[in-house]
């Protein structure tokens, strides 16, 4: 079985446990004893984030020193290479947890192995999905969602906002065929009252800006609609 990132679901994760408690690590979260993840332990301090080895998930001890736990969570969230944080907190501390700390999820120190495994996988997979979402690429075409810049062979394309959104949606769903109505709904929204003809106009403009060598990245499926063709070859469905 595979995760959304294409990696095997059973792959062991590298965990960094930050705690000042004696016998931290598997003592903090006993369920780890029954899971096949590698565990490194460091002090409950923001400084430990820069000196520790790379980790898939940072496990932060919030069972006693909530102030230190909040500082570590904020530092991890603001780091240049942010890593997902799983907070370990007892029932008595849950009311004090704040979303603004920047942690991704929390778990009880008494949680069973199945629950701990599920939460670790969820925060790790969510982090990978979010990283992929910042930049998408197909061949020589790249889309930077943070800066709203599309580059073709490294050259920025002058796209309107709607052209960008349409191209981003197609690139995010390669080879999937969308009707004009579906694209109008997903890109323009439910409250748009224009006709589906506007989709054709924007597709034509996008192809023109992609140029003769790359215009067929946006394929036409006759009688249906459009798709992003990673191979740049227009394949048309037979007429109904």
**Cα–Cα–Cα angle for 109, 115, 117, nearest 5°?**
100
Looking at the fold, whether 179 and 201 belong to one and the same domain comes out as yes
The last residue of a domain, from among 91, 119, 134: 134
- Beta carbons within 10 angstroms of residue 115's beta carbon: 13
**Model confidence at 152: pLDDT above 80:** yes
Strand order in the sheet with 141-144: 135-138, 141-144, 149-152, 155-156
Residue 74 lies in a domain: yes
Question: Domain tally for the chain?
Answer: 2
Looking at the fold, whether 92 and 199 belong to one and the same domain comes out as no
Looking at the fold, whether 32 and 124 belong to one and the same domain comes out as yes
The last residue of a domain, from among 103, 118, 134: 134
Looking at the fold, whether 196 and 129 belong to one and the same domain comes out as no
Q: Which domain holds residue 148?
A: 139-228
**Model confidence at 190: pLDDT above 70:** no
Looking at the fold, whether 149 and 123 belong to one and the same domain comes out as no
Task: Tell me the pairing of strands 218-221 and 225-228.
Answer: antiparallel
Residue 3 lies in a domain: no
The last residue of a domain, from among 107, 134, 161: 134
User: Would you state the torsion angle of the CA atoms of residues 79, 81, 84, 86, taken in this order, to the nearest 10 degrees?
Assistant: -50
Question: Considering only 72-76, 143-147, 165-169, 170-174, which range has the smallest mean pLDDT?
Answer: 143-147
Please give the pLDDT value at position 132.
Answer: 52
Mean pLDDT of 162-187: 89
Looking at the fold, whether 116 and 143 belong to one and the same domain comes out as no
Is pTM, for the whole model, over 0.85? no
Residue 50 lies in a domain: yes
What is the percent of the chain with per-residue pLDDT over 90, rounded to a whole number? 42
Looking at the fold, whether 175 and 97 belong to one and the same domain comes out as no
Looking at the fold, whether 23 and 113 belong to one and the same domain comes out as yes
Residue 236 lies in a domain: no
**With bands split at pLDDT 50, 70 and 90, how would you rate the model's confidence at 218?**
very high
Looking at the fold, whether 125 and 153 belong to one and the same domain comes out as no
Q: Write the CATH number for 218.
A: 1.10.10.10
Closest by CA to 15, choosing from 3, 6, 31, 2, is: 31
Residue 240 lies in a domain: no
Residue 239 lies in a domain: no
Q: Write the CATH number for 88.
A: 3.40.50.2300
Looking at the fold, whether 52 and 128 belong to one and the same domain comes out as yes
Looking at the fold, whether 58 and 116 belong to one and the same domain comes out as yes
Looking at the fold, whether 95 and 119 belong to one and the same domain comes out as yes
Residue 97 lies in a domain: yes
**Model confidence at 131: pLDDT above 60:** no
Higher pLDDT among residues 235 and 23, named by residue: 23
Please give the pLDDT value at position 220.
Answer: 94
Residue 54 lies in a domain: yes
Higher pLDDT among residues 234 and 199, named by residue: 199
Higher pLDDT among residues 1 and 84, named by residue: 84
**With bands split at pLDDT 50, 70 and 90, how would you rate the model's confidence at 203?**
very high
Mean pLDDT of 35-46: 92
Closest by CA to 159, choosing from 126, 205, 199, is: 205
């Amino acid at each position: 079985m595979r995760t959304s990132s294409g990696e095997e679901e059973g792959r062991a994760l590298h965990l960094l446990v930050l705690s000042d408690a004696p016998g931290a690590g598997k003592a903090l979260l006993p369920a780890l004893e029954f899971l096949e993840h590698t565990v490194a332990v460091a002090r409950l301090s923001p400084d430990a984030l820069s000196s520790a080895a790379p980790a898939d998930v940072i496990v932060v001890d919030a069972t006693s020193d909530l102030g230190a736990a909040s500082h570590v969570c904020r530092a991890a969230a603001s780091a240049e290479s942010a890593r997902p944080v799983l907070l370990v907190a007892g029932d008595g501390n849950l009311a004090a947890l704040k979303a603004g700390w920047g942690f991704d999820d929390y778990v009880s120190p008494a949680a069973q192995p199945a629950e701990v495994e599920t939460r670790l996988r969820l925060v790790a997979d969510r982090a990978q999905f979010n990283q992929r979402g910042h930049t998408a690429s197909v061949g020589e075409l790249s889309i930077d969602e943070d800066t709203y810049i599309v580059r073709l062979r490294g050259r920025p394309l002058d796209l309107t906002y709607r052209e960008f959104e349409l191209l981003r949606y197609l690139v995010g769903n390669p080879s999937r065929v969308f009707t004009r109505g579906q694209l109008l709904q997903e890109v323009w929204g439910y409250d748009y009252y224009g006709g589906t003809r506007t989709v054709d106009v924007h597709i034509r403009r996008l192809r023109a800006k992609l140029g003769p060598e790359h215009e067929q990245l946006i394929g036409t499926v006759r009688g249906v609609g459009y798709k992003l063709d990673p191979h740049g070859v227009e394949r048309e469905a037979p007429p109904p």
